[in-house]
Structure 1
Amino acid sequence: MRNSGEEIIIKNDRAVGVKVKEKHGKSFTLKEYYAPVIISSVGFYGTFNHLVKQKVDFLSQLEELSGGMSAISLYIGLKESPSKLGVKGENYWIAGSYDHDATYETRNDIVKGEIDSCYLSFPSLKEQNPEQHTAEIISFADFEAFEKWKDEPWKKRGEDYEALKSKIAEGLIACVEKQHPGFKDLIDYCELSTPLTMENFTSKLAGRMYGLAHTPQRFSSEWIKPQTPFKGLYITGGDICTTGVVGAMMGGVATASALDGAFGFGKHLYKIRKYNKTEVEV
């Protein structure tokens, strides 16, 4: 990454800007940018444990809700279109058995290269005119399975870590190959990310990709909303609503509405309706 957010600047209980580390060649400079409104999309944990240096009252509750799973992702470049395997851009959930509870309990066997369940996607087949074809394989795993390397920097975690990644990648490919014979022969390049990668690039505790745990406590916590204890600072994304693409989208809607005051959502609906009506008339 060329730039990274380092701190949200708080003055007199108000967010006034951000400090950004900018990369120039092999050196970094710290710059400050100021704005009347700051919106954080890294979730509650990343915001209040990394970016905001002031303590908030709900920090202990936040720690309790920061549990959850992480994942391993294999990003694949293909030599040619996977449509020759009969796929048309669908997403696949591959499972070795119907006992999904048992599958979940053995999720960390992935470090042994023993994988019988995963998610398979072909992003390039969802594009109209892809220049290159790609695939992605995802499987669940806990951060603890990789914890011994947590203090090592990205790309410098040693030969054992790289060997483990290679073993996992081979296991994921073998899992897909059982369901889609010929898939392995299409692979030109692949790169594996682990929960350590997820934590490094998203600032989510232990690489827990879905953010706050989905428990009754989460949905009854009054502090989970776009507004924060600091004026001018708002949270957006999945932590505001729920997980997944739609959850993140609705989190964005909630934040945009909060910026427009008590009746913000209604104001936005009116604008959308007015815009659509104009388009139809034209």
Structure 2
Amino acid sequence: KGKAFVRAPVSSILINEANKAIGVVVKGHCIFSKIVVSAISSTITYKYLIPQTHQHLVQSHLKIIESPELASETGYMSMFVGLQGDSDELNLPKGNLWVCPSWNHDENMKKFRNDYSADFPAIFISFASAKDPTYHTTYPKKSVASIIALGFYEHVEDFKDKRVKHRGDAYNQLKDQWKERMLEIFLKEFPNLKDKIVYVDNGTAITNDFYLGTYHGAACGLAHTPERFRQVEILSPISPIKNLYLSGQDMLTCINLRTRTNLPDRFHAVPNVQYLDIIVDENNDSSEDSFGQNLPPLLHLTNFELRSITQPWTLEELLLLFNQLPIVKNIALYLVSYDRRLVEEEQCSLPHIPKLSRLQRVSFYRSMPSDLNHFSLVFHAAPNLVRLDLPFEFLWQLIENQQIRHVLGQRITSLFIHQNTMSSSSVAFNEEQVPILASTFFRVDVLFTDLTHLRNSPITLPNDNIIEDSTVSNLPVDECQQTNEVVSPGSSESMVICLLREFKKHKLVGLGIRGQFCKILKTNAKQWFQQNTILSNQRFDAVFNDKLHQLLIWM
């Protein structure tokens, strides 16, 4: 039988002369084991738990982990509130609540970082006792609330070396200031709880370091940047030290395979994984390897991505793989196949297609089978599919098939349209196709599209040339009173206006558009939408993200 130790901090990982992890050191005592699994951050594991004699084994990993692109700048402040009364009596919600001062999250973070007395960039409120059906049996007439605020380690870094509970008056005053402000926001959302509060305590980023073993208070680990998710090998559960594995918040469950024959072993190693990306080595051009019939099921996997663009896959292999993913919700495939049943229009015998009843999202890339009747099997296998990600040329090909078009219209509620994969494509997304898309996808309430193939072309005219003496012939004019800009046909701005007009009845809740836009739209998106689109009388918010070249609208 195993043993669980409490108040037993690990001070070091034991590594032998053969560079193998053989145990841990706890309060001066050596505890030996066949393998060691670190469930804390990769930074602390590599920086503080690996002995100096073996630091050279992890230096390459540590250098990348501590780089500006990966190092987290965000710590967390927490506040715990004890309440008198049960969930039903207090009418506590089971869901979570996010409270933000505005939709411009980047600006909110910047303001608070520069001045910790500014508005919190975000506040998270949750009632754990309302979610646990057994809580009130154990603790009758009591409830708890958790409030978390985003913050920065640098605000409290000066106090990090002082003893816990004895960090001084200045630190306590800062904590109390934040506690009062967090409590004020909490009671603004739940004023009925004011007289029910019996306990309040709060902590900062350095509190997290002491009690949770975090690094700089970053309870969610490394920064969530694109660069982080490129570090497939660095943030792998398999460390550079044999028999040492990591399972903390920094890890990516992305597996690199040299051949598909390794697939069963990898599936056995991660039986409870929920998110899994697999990359089959592109340098290995063997087409003989296969993973056989001994592939174990991943009963908890909800998100799956597979890249294998040099080793061809057969239909049977794909179906065998899908059979082992019973509750998968999102699948993205980057594959090559020479299986003629997927590309020929003539009727071919097909094996049994497994039901993926929980599959909600499918992403398509590269070429598409010419026989769309075979392609429609995807929709029959996934009756609850609601999101589609694909290039416009492929989407248009689907819409031209009446049978598939009908299925898409009935099911899809989130549509993400990407750039065409081939520059020679005969069809490009423009305003002519928008009414057809809107009528086909009548259930869509979240829409994203890539318009980088269109130019931004608002034309600035003198005041006396607006409308009456316009020098631009045959130009439908959307007048902007403050800038005297007109939107020309075929531009990205004109396309935005068209999308909102045609999807007016869809009751969109979110619209994202990547492209090149005029200056006023990028600097004051909400004003532009109020003056140029049907949103003028609606409640909405809009921002342009310079880094992503994306326009985001919430309605």
TM-score, reference length from structure 1: 0.80
Q: Give 1:227 shift.
A: 1.1
3-state SS in 1 of match to 2:37:
strand
Structure 1 residues 211 and 145, CA, compared in 2 at 3 Å: closer, same or farther?
same
Instruction: Give the match for residue 60 of structure 1.
Output: 63
1:113·1:168 contact (CA, 8 Å) conserved in 2? Answer: no
| Separation in 2, partners of 1:236, 1:86 | 37
3-state SS in 1 of match to 2:227:
helix
3-state SS in 2 of match to 1:191:
strand
3-state SS in 1 of match to 2:185:
helix
Q: Give 1:10 shift.
A: 0.7
2:85·2:196 contact (CA, 8 Å) conserved in 1? Answer: yes
Is residue 75 of structure 1 aligned with residue 80 of structure 2?
Answer: yes
| Separation in 1, partners of 2:205, 2:224 | 19
Instruction: Give the match for residue 215 of structure 2.
Output: 205
2:208·2:219 contact (CA, 8 Å) conserved in 1? Answer: yes
Structure 1, 2-11 or 62-71: larger mean CA deviation: 62-71
Instruction: Give the match for residue 10 of structure 1.
Output: 15
Instruction: Give the match for residue 93 of structure 2.
Output: 88
Instruction: Give the match for residue 265 of structure 2.
Output: 264
After TM superposition, list the pairs within 5 Å mapping 1:130-279 onto structure 2. 130=135, 131=139, 132-221=142-231, 222-241=233-252, 251=253, 263-267=264-268, 268=271, 270=296
1:71·1:141 contact (CA, 8 Å) conserved in 2? Answer: yes
| Separation in 2, partners of 1:66, 1:233 | 22
Is residue 107 of structure 1 aligned with residue 112 of structure 2?
Answer: yes
| Separation in 2, partners of 1:58, 1:109 | 31
3-state SS in 1 of match to 2:21:
strand
| Separation in 2, partners of 1:111, 1:134 | 27
Q: Give 1:31 shift.
A: 1.1
- Unmatched runs of 5 consecutive residues or more in structure 2: 1-5, 256-261, 272-294, 300-555
| Separation in 1, partners of 2:87, 2:180 | 19
Q: Give 1:41 shift.
A: 0.8
| Separation in 2, partners of 1:82, 1:96 | 28
Instruction: Give the match for residue 51 of structure 1.
Output: 49
Structure 1, 73-82 or 225-234: larger mean CA deviation: 73-82
Structure 1 residues 35 and 228, CA, compared in 2 at 3 Å: closer, same or farther?
same
1:72·1:139 contact (CA, 8 Å) conserved in 2? Answer: yes
| Separation in 2, partners of 1:174, 1:195 | 21
| Separation in 1, partners of 2:192, 2:130 | 17
| Separation in 1, partners of 2:34, 2:296 | 25
Q: Give 1:198 shift.
A: 1.1
Q: Give 1:111 shift.
A: 4.2
Instruction: Give the match for residue 25 of structure 2.
Output: 19
Structure 1 residues 90 and 217, CA, compared in 2 at 3 Å: closer, same or farther?
closer
Instruction: Give the match for residue 124 of structure 1.
Output: 129
Q: Give 1:157 shift.
A: 0.3
2:264·2:296 contact (CA, 8 Å) conserved in 1? Answer: no
Is residue 33 of structure 1 aligned with residue 59 of structure 2?
Answer: no
Q: CA RMSD in A?
A: 2.7
| Separation in 2, partners of 1:90, 1:18 | 40
Structure 1 residues 100 and 217, CA, compared in 2 at 3 Å: closer, same or farther?
closer
Q: Give 1:192 shift.
A: 0.7
Q: Give 1:203 shift.
A: 3.2
Q: Which amino acid letter does the alignment assign opposite residue 60 of structure 1?
A: K
| Separation in 1, partners of 2:178, 2:89 | 26
Q: Give 1:83 shift.
A: 4.1
Q: Give 1:234 shift.
A: 0.5
| Separation in 2, partners of 1:79, 1:109 | 38
Bigger Rg, which one: 2
3-state SS in 1 of match to 2:9:
strand
Greater per-residue helix proportion:
1
1:85·1:180 contact (CA, 8 Å) conserved in 2? Answer: no
Q: Give 1:123 shift.
A: 0.5
Q: Percent identity?
A: 27
- The one of the two structures with greater contact order (alpha-carbon pairs below 8 A, sep at least 6) is 1
Q: Once the two structures are superposed, what CA deviation does each residue of 1:216-251 show, in whole Å capped at 9, x if it has no partner?
A: 33222322211111111011132112xxxxxxxxx5
| Separation in 2, partners of 1:61, 1:203 | 20
Q: Give 1:190 shift.
A: 1.4
Instruction: Give the match for residue 280 of structure 1.
Output: none
Q: Give 1:117 shift.
A: 4.1
Q: Once the two structures are superposed, what CA deviation does each residue of 1:50-94 show, in whole Å capped at 9, x if it has no partner?
A: 111221232211211223311100011112235445333211011
1:111·1:167 contact (CA, 8 Å) conserved in 2? Answer: no
Q: Give 1:138 shift.
A: 0.7
Q: Which amino acid letter does the alignment assign opposite residue 231 of structure 1?
A: K
3-state SS in 1 of match to 2:81:
strand
